[in-house]
Structure 1
């Protein structure tokens, strides 16, 4: 890649040092780090466990770079000016995350973010001193731009059918390539195909492309050699086409905003050149975007070499034409513009006219593309996205909702925040409606949540100081090489930070690295005020080096432990896919939890195995271990829903109904809009309250029933509130009075003597295929329960046969809930549940993966009369379930069944081979 940022070398430069061989090691290591990080899923911030190991490795590598820097600079390091003081101040950023650990909503995510912030601080310090040297500065600029261009081509390889080539290029070191294909380099959502390249999220890729579109134009205009102009001009079309293929409305909205802001920094001749190059590239990109879009959509369905070649031809020819035109502008027009407008450069406010004109031009273009039929020149999917840009569009309304909810969280965690990942851990408690978003879609609000007012002030003070000092110096000395180099980095940091007002770009650690490298690049060039002499005392200087090294060694140690834990957890998952051996799977899990006892994924896997073994042999040792690891993990992860549900599953296996119910009750406020939490809370409250009623324990009866009715009223109020949402805003997850909720709340009303309210509640929840049952005159009778259970089985079985797992499970759960409810009253019922109904209950338990319960149900209804078809089917399912569960055989029942019908053997094997719903 040719140097994109050749500039006139100043005769003298601040802090110029000879680049020794040892320093070259640091420079090369830094560049290799830049090349490695983006292809590790863009280094997502570790809120998802699949992405944790690359974060730990990146933190480890950054620590090693900082240690090497300390070795090289410990004698030369001086606190002479404000730039040096920034190397001290940046350590406050991970310090605020460390303080937030003490109040963290999730210790797991908070530690991940502490490591990430430490990585940012290390990279900032190393960059700050490397970028002071002009030669290294140019090398790193070239490296950053080369990495960006590689990412662009990587994305286009995936779009234009060469995904196997793209996967082969990075598969040897990236953990996100499966079967030769990089995961979600082209994502699919309700809008169709969207290009994401390495990020797996189109909007973040759009922010990245926006930043490097302007960096490419800057490098093009600044290039002093023709090859630089050609290379950077050639890349403009691929970047713009890729940006359009992301279908990111936020990217298209923020692009002109950032462009106008950047123009304000330029003198008139440079402003004109930027506009000319952008117009040339924009026209060429629009000319080929439609066919490239269509070809990419076609290639996603079927391989077609001819179509792929055609797509590449469109792209490469448009890029080549653009490169030549941009080179011609730089070769012939640029010198004349520089000379002709030289007199205007020094005049006051002259640099404002073109940005104002550009704003008007952008407004006109926006009107034509959004408000008129001119948008028809674009591909249909892009046209639709532009057509829907308005403040009543659902994504806009949802973002405003996120922001309001984020402020609620910040209000409750004002000083130190809720720790790293605070939003992801807590948002369900504060959300306005049942959306699903582990990101607040605003970096600054998310940062406020994580570190509170204290940390937010530190962070904003840090970045604003860097921007202020650089911009102030740039205005005075914009033609100097130092400030020109700094402007390269300002474009990156400003573009990403501004777009992050609308999205969670900085949840990708690679984007954060780019921002901190950008801040370091500006800081290296800024006009820095000298510090008082006392700052440069040997005690302070060496004390800082010692402190930085101590912190680095601590992060290095933690990173190594966490890498070991992640490796062990990964080993356990791999073993679990090929082995059923409890001891073989457990060994790496124990190792993982030794290094990190609250690692959620390892805890869940070990507890699930212990629960399964306990369900088979009732050995309390396994239940005790499951309880121990879950209890320990929940101390650090009290808001982790999966851990809570695993604890409930353990209590259910132990027959501890009160304890299981208490987990639902005590944590309901954490999941206000999760109907799957409130549904079992209400049904369990109804069942336990009914038991207390039959046992004439009025105190417990009232306690359970009050909780159940309060939860029911919460659901009813929520349903009513959702009807008030603006028309354009989506509700999110389902939230309604479900059949199970209606059964539970209706039963409470029926037991307490309010039959009219009970019937009304049933009619509100038993709808559709169940509506006729809600209006019958024999509500709550055994016959009615029989019919409800059989109906739910018939509907669920029909869905199961059609591979509709969601509806099958929903219907089966209705029947199982009705069965649990009627079994509470069996001691007072005159008519028992029929054998046919018990049979379908067992089948539903089997098909919902509750194998042990199914076994108990079938066994309880076995009969000696195998001339009866229902009895034979009961025995058949019982034997199949026994075989499914542990491979054993009840020989006595088997012999009697086969004697009645020899064909039953094959039927048993057929049932045992069935796949229950997951």
Structure 2
């Protein structure tokens, strides 16, 4: 059609772009997927059987969405620009995990991470294309905010003691609801009652809240409808109050960092509005934090309707005022502020000054709330947490230890890493002290040790390239283009920055938000043509679609099988609670292990079943089945302590202590901070060596005694090392000498004709109270060791004589022994 006038373009159609039914099916699927995944404990990858099934269901749903995407966008796949090539680049992330299978510390956990990274790759590719569509982008952004607000409301329902009401709804689509209540939406730890909502972990919930606090402020300042401005302003107070109720110091520390980084992207007028909204909502939240906290603490002890009504009344009342203020500011203040600062905004580097000023103001506020009496306006549990924000407290020192230990792992697995779940499998071998943490509390370091330097360089290159190209596009774009996808930058930056301090990305739901967000950022990045590609569009799209389609089919089939395995494994545990039938319990375990032969939880359970039957019947077949099963699985899971424990127990039941001892000694380096493991080596070494001494096998005696005394020496080194830990750092699990360890070690040195070492070891166990038989024996052998060196301790002999009249004779008899 010709133009109606020269040089004049026709007006765009008011009907807008026509979208296919398949587009709406795909978009609806993404929306439902985001809602569902958030309520499955946010798909926590806890590296245990109970967490697996929802993750594999998420993989199934993601692949189904991917098939819809392939059909819908097949004709748009061209690979003519940089943006399209990111759909190929993201495939390198799961490929790096596949490569790390070569040196995986745990085959099962490594396979789980491959599936998880396939989910991430799918969500990125889908987001990369869907979020280019204006309407699709708007719907997904609204879904992000709706999910966030629902999670906030869900958490507050539990805080005000209404978990049953929330659980009655959530039970229809969540497997985390038990006995009518979502498990641990509010939980107690050493810091008191903490709000966790769907995450069951307060720090990750804090990271989520931080991201959506800034997202909410963004929507307040960019929404054009008055009701949208008011509603998003209304939600600021519940979000900040929830953040305070998490008691997360990491969240409070990282919040100003992310806030300042985001301010750098805004013009001065918007920067002031962000500060204004956060300031007003923050003050309002602090004012009501004390009564809301106290009401919640009381309601979680004893629920009463009037208390819950009072709590909701305070929260909703203040939130309503905040909503009204938000509308007033946007209606009357914001336009004048933007007009007033218009000339300043046009200047170079104008966006730097307010963030720099906010850093100074933020530092002053931190000082006031931590270093002055102003903290007394806060609830006690929150003020105590603020007081403890320093670099010499346990949480910080322990995290630094995790990071150093992670680098030790990397030194042994530098190039392709130790596979998915590497930290959970290996941390006991490399730990500096006996802490318990199956998470490294740093996503980037955990990723580094899983895929090595090669995989980490690929990942960081991918992330940084998207950030770089997005920022370039942001700088070049107008306000409308900048605002269209800025939400995704907020989400991705907030979660990844906070993940420096915690394991947020171990929640697959958080990873989905990040990779969908990265797809959104890439959708509007600075994009240039790719001139090196010579294949026809039809050939390129056919090859790519065929490849990723095949991969998606493999992921789908694998995930379905893994769901069956996880379901069978959990079914065996359910049967175990109500039945003692060997066949009934074994049947689902066989299903699980036929699909995943090295599934640790099911292997351990089946081995225990075999052991029980063997003890009852004496049938050698069950003993052999136990040992063969464990030895076979340990080739795939060589760091699984539970399997080694089961194997040791099997050898002992069969009265093969030598084999049991060999397992203990050969794997001691993997569990060097497990005092029970060391104690077994010492005590069993003493027993085996004593038997060898009785049979005249001097070589065997010396072998067992040397191995046992070496283990004792390692324990002493460990105890000395723990004394050097920084003052604020807790050591973790108990790690100390026991009377039996000391007695047996002293006797072994004595029987190896090393009285000086015997006395040194036995002296560690001497106590004031000699009423216990073991304490008397330690002193008796100690005095005998001294006598062997022509030394004595008359005072100690006198104390021993008080509880043992024949002490001198007994000590003399020991001293006269010759070995």
Whole-angstrom distance in 1 between the partners of 2:329 and 2:777: 86
SS at match of 1:390: coil
Q: Say if 2:197 and 2:205, in contact at 8 Å, map to a contact too.
A: yes
| DSSP 3-state at the match of 2:301 | coil
Q: Secondary structure at the match of 1:42?
A: helix
- Residue 521 of structure 1: CA displacement? 0.8
Deviation at 1:541, TM superposition (A): 2.4
1:772 is displaced (CA, Å) by 5.6
C-alpha distance in structure 1 between counterparts of 2:424 and 2:780, whole Å = 42
Task: Tell me the secondary structure at the aligned position of residue 75 of structure 2.
Answer: coil
Q: Secondary structure at the match of 1:530?
A: coil
Tell me which residue corresponds to 2:382.
382
The structure showing larger relative contact order (alpha-carbon pairs under 8 Å, at least 6 residues apart) is 2
1:416 alignment counterpart: 416
Contact 1:81 1:530 survives alignment (8 Å): yes
Aligned mates of 1:744, 1:638 — CA distance in 2: 30
CA distance in 1, matches of 2:155, 2:505: 20
Worse-matched range after superposition: 611-620 or 628-637: 628-637
The change in CA–CA distance for 1:616 and 1:623 in structure 2 (over 3 A counts) is same
Residue 753 of structure 1: how far off its partner (Å): 3.1
Q: For this pair of structures, how many residues does the alignment match? A: 770
Specify the SS of the correspondent of 2:711.
Answer: helix
8 Å contact from structure 1 (residues 739, 762) kept in 2: no
Alignment of 1:368-447 (within 5 A): 368-447=368-447
CA contact (8 A) 2:689 2:700 kept: yes
The CA deviation string for residues 729-762 of structure 1, in whole angstroms up to 9 with x for no partner, is 1011011111231132122123223456435534
Which residue in 1 is equivalent to 2:158? 158
Contact in 2 for aligned 1:686/1:745 (Cα 8 Å): yes
Please state if 1:512 is matched with 2:511.
yes
**Is the deviation greater in 552-561 or in 758-767?**
758-767
Cα separation, 2, equivalents of 1:766 and 1:555: 62
The equivalent of 2:699 in structure 1 is: 699
| Aligned residue number for residue 613 of structure 2 | 613
1:330 pairs with 2:330: yes
Counterparts of 2:599 and 2:778, CA distance in 1: 51
Q: Is the 8 A contact 1:206 1:251 kept in 2?
A: yes
**Contact 1:393 1:729 survives alignment (8 Å):** yes
Contact 1:80-1:535 at 8 Å conserved across structures: no
Q: Is the 8 A contact 1:759 1:775 kept in 2?
A: no
Q: Deviations over 1:132-162 (max 9, x none)?
A: 0001100000011100100001110000111
Other structure's SS at 1:502 match: coil
Q: Distance in 2 between matches of 1:176 and 1:267?
A: 44
For the pair 1:603 / 2:586, whether they are aligned, the reply is no
What is the aligned partner in structure 2 of residue 590 from structure 1? 590
1:530 paired to 2:529: yes
Name the CA distance, whole Å, in 2 between partners of 1:535 and 1:712: 68
Q: How much does 1:37 deviate?
A: 0.1
Cα offsets for 1:501-548 (capped at 9, x unmatched): 011110111111111011011001112111115265433322111111
Provide the TM-score with structure 1 as the length reference: 0.82
Partner of 1:911: none
Judge conservation of contact 1:415–1:453 (CA < 8 Å) in 2: yes
2:494 corresponds to which residue?
A: 495
CA distance in 1, matches of 2:113, 2:650: 31
2:302 matched to 1:302?
yes
TM-score (norm 2): 0.92
Q: CA deviation at 1:169?
A: 1.4
Give, in whole Å, the separation in 2 of the partners of 1:297 and 1:48: 31
Give the distance between the partners of 1:17 and 1:109, measured in 2 at CA.
45
- Inter-CA distance 179–137: structure 2 relative to 1 (3 Å threshold): same
Residue 751 of structure 1 is matched in structure 2 by 751
Report the alpha carbon displacement of residue 346 of structure 1 after superposing the two structures with TM.
1.1
Report the equivalent of 1:903.
none
Alignment of 1:158-557 (within 5 A): 158-481=158-481, 483-532=482-531, 533-534=533-534, 537-557=537-557
Q: What is the distance in 1 between the residues matched to 2:387 and 2:202?
A: 19
- Greater shift after overlay, 570-579 or 472-481? 472-481
Which residue number corresponds to residue 82 of structure 2? 82
| Shift in CA distance, 307/767, structure 1 to aligned 2, threshold 3 Å | farther
Deviations 1:57-111 (A, max 9, x none): 0011111111111122223321121111111100000000011111100111111
Deviations 1:242-297 (A, max 9, x none): 00000111100111111111111000111111111111111111111110101111
2:194 is paired with a residue of what secondary structure?
strand
Query: For the residues of structure 1 that align with 2:582 and 2:774, how far apart are their CA atoms?
Result: 47
Q: Distance in 2 between matches of 1:132 and 1:20?
A: 15
State whether residues 44 and 51 of structure 2, in contact with CA within 8 Å, keep that contact through their aligned partners in structure 1: yes
Structure 1: how far apart are the matches of 2:22 and 2:538? Answer: 24
Q: Distance in 2 between matches of 1:304 and 1:577?
A: 35
Distance 1:209 1:747 in 2: 59
Return the alpha-carbon distance in structure 2 between the equivalents of residues 778 and 545 of structure 1.
Answer: 74
Separation in structure 2 between the aligned mates of residue 726 and residue 217 of structure 1, nearest angstrom: 41
Partner Cα distance (1:115, 1:57) in 2? 11
Alignment CA distance shift 1:775-1:578 (3 Å):
closer
SS of residue paired to 1:188: strand
CA offsets, 1:556-583, max 9 Å, x none? 1110111111111111111111111101
1:638-787 alignment to 2 at 5 Å?
638-755=638-755, 757-765=757-765, 767=767, 773=773, 776=776
In 2, the alpha carbon distance for the partners of 1:535 and 1:452 equals 34
8 A contact 1:759–1:774 mirrored in 2: no
Whole-angstrom distance in 1 between the partners of 2:775 and 2:344: 85
Evaluate the alpha carbon distance shift between residue 759 and residue 774 of structure 1 in structure 2; reply closer, same or farther with a 3 A threshold.
Answer: farther
CA contact 2:49–2:569 (8 Å) conserved in 1: no
After superposition, what is the alpha-carbon deviation per residue over 1:374-399, rounded to whole angstroms, capped at 9, x for unaligned? 11111101100111111111111111
Distance in structure 2 (CA, Å) of the matches to 1:511 and 1:326: 29
Indicate the RMSD between aligned Cα atoms, in angstroms: 1.8
Where structure 2 has 5 or more consecutive residues not aligned to the other structure, the ranges are 1-10, 785-816
- How far does the alpha carbon of each residue in 1:786-815 deviate from its partner, in whole angstroms, 9 at most, with x for none? xxxxxxxxxxxxxxxxxxxxxxxxxxxxxx
The 1-side partners of 2:686 and 2:132 are apart by 70
Residues 530/12 of structure 1: CA separation in 2 closer, same or farther (3 Å cut): farther
Q: Report how far residue 662 of structure 1 moved.
A: 0.7
Give the secondary-structure state (helix, strand or coil) at the position aligned to 1:574.
Answer: helix
Q: Do the aligned residues in 1 keep the contact of 2:746 with 2:757 (CA within 8 Å)?
A: yes
1:492 to partner: Cα distance: 0.1
- Partner of 2:187, secondary structure, is strand
CA distance in 1 between partners of 2:778 and 2:352 (Å): 80
Whether the 8 Å contact between 2:106 and 2:636 is mirrored in structure 1 is yes
Matched-pair contact (CA < 8 Å) for 2:743–2:777:
no
Q: Distance in 2 between matches of 1:318 and 1:680?
A: 61
1:437-474 CA deviation, whole Å, 9 max, x = no partner? 11111110000000000100000000000000001111
Secondary structure, in 3 states, of the residue corresponding to 1:735? coil
Contact 1:597 1:632 in 2 (8 A): no
Counterpart CA distance in 2 for 1:46 and 1:112 is 11
Per the alignment, do residues 406 and 17 of structure 1 end up closer, same or farther by CA in structure 2, a change over 3 Å counting? farther
Gaps of at least 5 residues in structure 1 are: 1-10, 785-828, 830-918
The 3-state SS of whatever aligns with 1:193 is strand
Distance 2:212 2:374 in 1: 27
Work out the CA distance in 2 between the residues paired with 1:173 and 1:377: 40
* 1:708–1:21 distance in 2 versus 1, CA, 3 Å: same
Contact 1:264 1:352 in 2 (8 A): yes
Query: For the residues of structure 2 that align with 1:771 and 1:448, how far apart are their CA atoms?
Result: 54
Distance 1:763 1:301, change over 3 A: farther
Query: Distance between the aligned counterparts of 1:241 and 1:106, measured in 2?
Result: 41
What is the CA-CA distance between 1:590 and the residue it aligns to? 0.6
What does residue 868 of structure 1 align with?
A: none
